[in-house]
Amino acid sequence: MKLIKRNGSEVTFDREKIVAAIAKANEAVDEDDRITPEKIAEIALGVENKCLKLKRAVTVEEVQDMVERALMELCAYTLAKAYITYRYKRALIRRSNTTDEKILSLIECNNEEVKQENSNKNPTVNSVQRDYMAGEVSRDITNRLLLPEDIVRAHNEGLIHFHDADYFAQHMHNCDLVNLEDMLQNGTVISGTMIEKPHSFSTACNIATQIIAQVASNQYGGQSISLTHLAPFVQISREKILMKVTEELADVGVCDPEAIKRIAEKRLREEIQKGIQCIQYQVVTLLTTNGQAPFITIFMYLGEAKNEQERADLALIIEETLLQRYQGVKNEEGVWITPAFPKLIYVLEEQNIHPDSPYYYLTKLAAKCTAKRMVPDYISEKIMLQNKVDKNGEGHCYTCMGCRSFLTPYVDEDGKPKYYGRFNQGVVTVNLVDIGLSAGGDMDKFWKVFDERMELCHRALQARHERLEGTLSDAAPILWQYGALTRLKKGEPIDKYLHGGYSTISLGYAGLWECVYSLIQKKLTEPEGEALGLEIMRKLNEYTAKWKAAEGIDHSLYGTPLESTTYKFAKCLQTRFGIVPGVTDRNYITNSYHIHVTEPIDAFEKLALEAKFQALSPGGAISYIEVPDMQNNLDAVLGVMRFIYDNIMYAELNTKSDYCQICGFDGEIQIERDPDGKLIWECPVCHNRDQSKMNVARRTCGYIGTQYWNQGRTAEIHDRVLHL
């Protein structure tokens, strides 16, 4: 069994340290108030047994709480007071400097919490450590100086989660929908250098990767670009190549228009291949200032093309993107594996969804790629046009920012819809499970606590918004001055883009499944559970609408992609409420509105049910199904894709794509328990447990992770059942 120390490092649980701590307090009280060594040993053993029953690593604070309760149960009040006093004095000493120990444990790679905070960051790399060190300082400043004490306390107790506190000290925002079209067509500036409109497709791809890296270094969330914005440069390259081929063949006395066209198209394909390869490899190999590859989503939507020629050229780009992603990238051993980024989104539309659709061949290729590499994910144009309707009554189809954060419909002062160049200000998530358990089955009390937590979240969101107000465009020139978002002048504040719906700010939610079950002992898959779940979702939307109307700030409801926080929330719930069957008996809680990972349910039933909840999560949501190896059953994949098109706005298929560098096994790496009860990854063939010698890719929060996860998320991955 493991113990998590205050600095985040993980050590083996040692009962004798409990004995020593109680004995020290025992010596500090009068002899009449002391307890026997046998009683001390009995208390220590009892605490160890309680910890073992939790079936997870425990924190020092949890152990100390158990000791205090045990002393009180013995009526050893004076001894308990001495123990509490000693603990309080130690806390005061620690509070005088809250960052040193965490930073030191981080540098030595002993901080278990930070090590597995982000499944796409390698904590042993200097650049990642530097980012985490800066993050610890920022978090410390945020907690002590920038946020109200009750919000900090609520975050620490797991009532809410104030996202990205490690970036809050700076004037930074969350996600972007990059206006790549503006930057490529009208030029941009990168690191003080003017970048003019490119004169070829390959150059446009190269510039796009530089933009992606710069944007990633100036915000902390995901970003998205559209391949449609690269499509016009295919025609530019075509014309250049045609001219060159014509000249070359003329030099040898050949003037055959068909031959010229055939050779030119072949060379054009080669340039498209090189351009997409540039994006793929640059994204995978780049390390931004936060120590990870850019969190980038690439959008593939034929419906965005301005004319038939551009659509045909866009199809060429999409085809090449899918082909290269299907192939994968080589690991250090030279073996083709599944990369985490870029995330791909493919729009299902009338032009590609039916066997007789002109671009159905792309859909078949997308299905093949998904079966092997887990991407692309799928947006239904049909459903999105119904869900995303602007004030003019027009529906729109557009990409999320990163994994799932969606902008709300927006019409500019000219009455035109606008999505590219917009962003999200940040997220605060409410732990719905805590509200449910706090109510104790009393619905009146539930709504009372619910209202209180909404007010708490609202004030936390206001703090996020106020932190951005007054930010000057100079803080991130690539975003605010050179076209990624806007083209403000130097020294100009960004405030006008924080109001009026141009940007969003997100109320996140987590654990709807457990919340409903805690209240009425019904699942979301049961009629009563579904009804209550939808009622809670509608109430959340009422709050965001009320805040938006009052402040002119576009609050939106967001299905939070919990990663490390799923473990934190679970531990906080267990501490506050103990083990409640069906609610807190696992080391994770369920993301957003999702059906629990252990629930046996058919893929189509799951997607149809979750579609109802997804429609009530306008600020961001994604649904998934777990599937076995589908590479030899592409018809089934295509069947799921057609169901997505008709029923749900945004969904994905989760398969497995792992590789063992020791024995060459290519399949699913298993999750096992070591003798201490810790979940570890193991090759089913050679039993290799060295994570540095295996490549594991799993989708956890709408995106693929490759650097492993904390124990809560690992348990959630282990518990997943197949839906197909």
What pLDDT digit, counting tens, does each position of 273-299 carry?
999 999 999 988 875 555 567 889 999
Of 300, 384, 400, 401, catalytic? 401
Tell me, yes or no, if 702 is annotated catalytic.
yes
Does residue 217 lie within any of the structural domains?
no
Mean of all residue pLDDT scores within the chain: 91
Residue 136 covered by a domain: no
Task: Categorize the per-residue pLDDT at 707 as very low, low, confident or very high, splitting at 50, 70 and 90.
Answer: low
Percent of the chain with pLDDT over 70: 92
Please identify which of the residues 202, 224, 405, 438 carries the catalytic annotation: 405
Number of domains forming the structure of the chain? 1
- Using the 8-state DSSP alphabet, how is residue 511 labeled? -
54 is a domain residue:
yes
- Which residues are registered as beta bridge partners of 297? 224, 343
Among candidate residues 271, 319, 320, 563, the one labeled active-site is: 563
SS3 330: strand
Could you report the per-residue pLDDT of 577-634, keeping only the tens digit for each? 989 999 999 989 999 999 999 999 999 999 999 999 999 999 999 999 999 999 999 9
Query: Residue 335: inside a domain, yes or no?
Result: no
Instruction: State the catalytic residue, choosing from 517, 543, 558, 593.
Output: 558
Find residue 625's DSSP bridge partners: 653
- Report which residue type is found at 126: N
Catalytic: 587? no
Dump pLDDT digits (tens) for 192-239. 999 999 999 999 999 999 999 999 989 999 999 999 999 999 999 999
420 catalytically annotated:
no
Among residues 702, 703, 712, 716, the one annotated as catalytic is 702
The answer to whether 563 is a known catalytic residue is: yes
Q: How far apart are CA 478 and CA 471, in angstroms?
A: 14
- Does 569 score more than 80 pLDDT? yes
Residue 665 inside a domain? The answer is: no
Q: What average pLDDT does the segment 10-33 reach?
A: 89
Contact in structure between 638 and 367 (CB atoms under 8 Å): yes
- Please give the average per-residue pLDDT across 647-661, as a whole number: 93
Instruction: Give the single-character DSSP code of 411.
Output: B
Active site residue 535: no
Q: Which of 1, 66, 374, 403 is catalytic?
A: 403
Known active-site residue 401: yes
In a domain, 47, yes or no: yes
7, 118, 143, 174: which one is catalytic?
174
- Confirm whether 16 is domain-assigned: yes
Domain that holds residue 6: 1-96
Is the residue at 588 inside a domain? Answer: no
User: Which residues have CB under 8 Å from 641's CB, separation 6+?
Assistant: 348, 353, 363, 366, 367, 378
Look up 300 and say whether it is catalytic.
Answer: no
Check residues 576 and 480 and name the one with the higher pLDDT.
Answer: 480
Q: Specify the pTM.
A: 0.87
Non-local (6+) Cβ contacts of 153 within 8 A are none
